[in-house]
Amino acid sequence: MSDVRHAVSGKWGWLLAVTVIFIVSYFPLFMHLDKLPLRMWDEPRQAIGAYEMLHNGNWLVNHYQGAPDMWSTKPPLLLWVQALFMALLGTGELAARLPSAIAGLGTCLLLLRFTHRAMGSPWPGVVAAITLITAQGYVNRHVTRSGDYDSLLVLFMFWAAYQAFEYARSGERRHMLLLFLALTLGMLTKSVQALMMTPAIGLWWLFTGRLKGALSDRWLWAGLLGFLLVVGGFYGAREAVNPGYLQAVWDNEWGGRYGATLEGHLHDGHYYFQILSTHQFQHGYMLAIAGALVGLGSRDPQLKRLTGFAVLFAVQYLVVISNAGTKTEWYIAPAYPFLCLLAMVVFWLFVRWCAASAWLNDQMHTYVMPVVLAVVLFFKPYTDVIAQTYFPKEWPWDVDYYALPHYMQECAKGKRETAANVLCWDDYNGHIMLYVYMLNDRGHAIESISKHDLQRGMRPVAAEWHVKQFIEEHYVTLTLEESGPVKVYAIAGTKPGAGHQVALEAGHNKPPSTGTR
């Protein structure tokens, strides 16, 4: 029995907990990470920005198809990491998405560290981490399984909150410096969103009696100065070499996105609570509410303190984003670690009850019963997320839309050959262009051209029905290949009388360059 106790406590307990997290997180976070092609809208924008940064050597100004990107105006930390992975692993989905998956693992490990420091054991953090990696809203597009900003942002925001907790608990100045380091990295990841929990930091220090001491601590002002120098230095340098950047940032992020509804993302004030309870965090939603209630009422000062911390940060952040004009499902991601801590409270109280129950006189039962409960609680959510990641597939309504990206992905990876030397796609084509670059790198010359500019000898590939219809109506063609909605043509010339119509329509069919963030 002493062997069991030793295995779940102390240094060996910490190592065992870390090992458990590495094993159980692999399948949700890393399994088949590169199987699906890049997803609209933001992921390909970042991947192309990282690719071009790696090849043009401009690490300050991210570019999109050769021009400074004034639509995706976030700082370039994510792109730097993606470019590094592209240099190490080659261009592709894995290099674009691996930073997000690793950040997801880092957040899980930080949950272990947090509970180990706050409660003397990493095992509550294991429960919180498993709750996190079985949340559909977290292990999903735009967060841990896509090349977007949000997974990295969650890591830095939770790290900053953890350092604020540690500073309030111990007063050690290193936590103040680490807090500002986390805020700086978060700001360089996704701009001002990284600061949306700073009111909770001030409130937590106020409630714990640490605020006055923090304001008089010279390390707070040193950390703030360092933050301003690094962040301000980036924005100033980018504006100096790319005039108009700061105005674009204001329009896209600091002003327009919070104060107004952009890109059609209009929802009511209950939107985030609705998606949490219905599908994004369905298995943990009621546990989090119950954990908040029983934890705040607990007589255990450590548990009560942790619960109050998690409630404050989760509620403050949800209030802020619920009052924003633009609402998207992934904006809620930074709240997940705190909600998972709350969901853990109920489980941990059960573990404590098992340990104290007289009828469980065999101490082995105090370890067996929590494991049984964990299996009961997490078996279905975990198998659901495994099914989602082990067999990733397109939703029925996306099959045709992503047919050409799948085709181009296979060609770019050498799994099939194509005769095409031209890509024709009317809509925003970011989710396809990285594969064009990859094909060019492999020596297969191909470029993106409007359907109005096709010439004799070109071999366009197209999948949109209206593009194929236009090509077949206005050009003399030979079909070289057909795979589902994807067709590759050989252009033999322009049909008699169609040349004037092609030129006339060209000015009315410019592909858009906007999407969602």
> What is the tens place of the pLDDT at every residue in 6-65?
445 567 778 888 999 999 999 999 999 999 999 988 899 999 999 999 999 999 999 999
Q: Which residue has the higher pLDDT, 157 or 388?
A: 157
Mean pLDDT in residue range 374-402: 88
Of the CA atoms within 13 Å of residue 363, those in its CB half-sphere come to 7
DSSP state of 325: S
CA 323 to chain centre: 22
Picking from 6-20, 56-70, 160-174, 355-369, which range would have the lowest pLDDT averaged per residue? Answer: 355-369
What angle do helix axes 218-241 and 173-190 make, rounded to 10 degrees?
20
Res 324: pLDDT: 78
Position 511 scores a pLDDT of: 45
The burial class, CB within 10 Å (0-12 / 13-18 / 19+), for 361 is: exposed
Q: Is the pLDDT of residue 93 over 80?
A: yes
Q: Does an H or E element contain 255, and which?
A: none
Angle at 13 between CA 10 and CA 14, to 5 degrees: 90
- 359 burial level (CB within 10 Å; 0-12, 13-18, 19+): exposed
Contact 411, 92 (CB under 8 A): no
* pLDDT at site 12: 74
Q: Report whether 1 contacts 364 (CB < 8 A).
A: yes
Which of 326, 328, 331 has its CA nearest to residue 261? Answer: 326
Is residue 226 a contact partner of residue 112, using CB atoms and an 8 Å limit? no
Q: Distance between CA atoms of 183 and 197, rounded to whole angstroms?
A: 10
Residue 498 clears pLDDT 90, i.e. is over it: no
Q: Work out the end-to-end distance of the chain between its first and last CA atoms, rounded to an integer number of angstroms.
A: 53
Mean pLDDT, rounded, for 221-231: 97
Q: Sorting pLDDT into bands at 50, 70 and 90, what band is 5? A: very low
C-alpha–C-alpha distance, residues 459 and 417, integer Å: 13
Give the length of the chain. Answer: 517
How would you classify the pairing of strands 486-494 and 475-483?
antiparallel
Segment 112-132 shows an average pLDDT of 92
Nearest alpha carbon to residue 22 among 14, 32, 34 = 14
Q: How far apart are CA 269 and CA 188, in angstroms?
A: 28
Statement: residue 415 has pLDDT above 60? yes
Check pLDDT > 90 for residue 378.
no
Rounded CA separation 517/149 (Å): 10
Q: How far is CA 480 from CA 113, 302, 435, 459, in A?
A: 58, 69, 20, 8
Burial 381-396 (b: 16+ CB within 10 A, else e): bbebbeebbeeeeeee
Confidence of residue 196 (pLDDT cuts 50, 70, 90): very high
Place of tokens 């006189």: 361
pTM for this prediction: 0.91
Tell me which amino acid residue 290 is.
A
Minimum mean pLDDT range among 90-99, 161-170, 232-241, 280-289: 280-289
Mind listing the pLDDT tens digit for each residue in 422-441?
A: 999 998 899 999 999 999 99
How high is the pLDDT of residue 9? 58
